Amino acid sequence: MSGSSPAERLSEVRDAIGKAARLAKRSPEEVTLIAVSKTHPAEAIIPQLEAGHRHFGENRVQEAEAKWPALRERYRDVTLHLIGRLQSNKAEEAVALFDCIHSVDRASLVNALARATEKTGRSPDCLIQVNIGEEPQKGGCPVAELPALLELGRDVGLAVTGLMCIPPADVEAAPFFALLAKLARRHSLPALSMGMSADFETAVTIGATHVRVGTALFGERG
């Protein structure tokens, strides 16, 4: 991913997604590229917006609140994805700002999001983050607790559309992506958010519908 301009990097990543999709006999249109703009200022984001990109990911509510309302005045059709850990006391702000929340991982947060949805009248798509490598230090719902969390999500009326994972670092990601895909099929969930700069092509061949790519589009984070 060596393209020098933001637009070149964008088209390189899109091409790579297209190749991986065709390898797996999938249509590239099934894959949404989320440009992860966390830590990057508006000046770094605008070239991607000017190049026509519209899906962006942030990992912190406060940072997103500082950057995106102004950008959205100019680029009204942006879709914002929250990909980082969410505290229950920020649920209302998150629901007000984001169109899709990828990091729903516990019952207390499901309940907080349901209350926030009722209060704001906004109902973002919600993905359950699964702790696919059973890593104690990581967020995400344990695999064994996924059925109960999905049932709670349905009971309280959240729009749960899929699953998300961050596989363990420094090992082959494919088996973890395959497990997440299997869990999504088992529960008839259409959305599968998996794959980052290092492994998004692998994720696309295994069924990702959303890839979250930061470094390959924006360069290293400071």
Ligand X SMILES: *Cc1c(COP(=O)(O)O)cnc(C)c1O
Binding site for ligand X (CB under 6 A): 36, 38, 59, 83-84, 166, 196-198, 212-216
The residue number with the shortest CB distance to ligand X is 214
Q: How far is the CB of 197 from ligand X (least distance, A)?
A: 3
Token pair, residue 97, equals 């700002």
Q: How far is the CB of 165 from ligand X (least distance, A)?
A: 9
CB-nearer residue toward ligand X: 88 or 215: 215
Q: How far is the CB of 35 from ligand X (least distance, A)?
A: 9
Task: Give the angle subtended at the CA of 124 by the CAs of 121 and 127, to the nearest 5°.
Answer: 145
CB-nearer residue toward ligand X: 7 or 156: 7
- The SS3 assignment for 222 reads coil
CB-nearer residue toward ligand X: 123 or 197: 197
User: Dihedral (C-alpha) 137, 138, 139, 140: value to the nearest 10 degrees?
Assistant: -120
Say if CB 186 and CB 6 are below 8 A apart: no
Strand 125-129 and strand 210-213: pairing? unpaired
Q: How far is the CB of 92 from ligand X (least distance, A)?
A: 22
Q: How far is the CB of 50 from ligand X (least distance, A)?
A: 21
By C-alpha distance, which of 134, 125, 159, 130 is closest to 147? 130
CB-nearer residue toward ligand X: 66 or 148: 66
CB-nearer residue toward ligand X: 59 or 117: 59
* Interatomic CA distance for residues 115 and 104, integer angstroms: 14
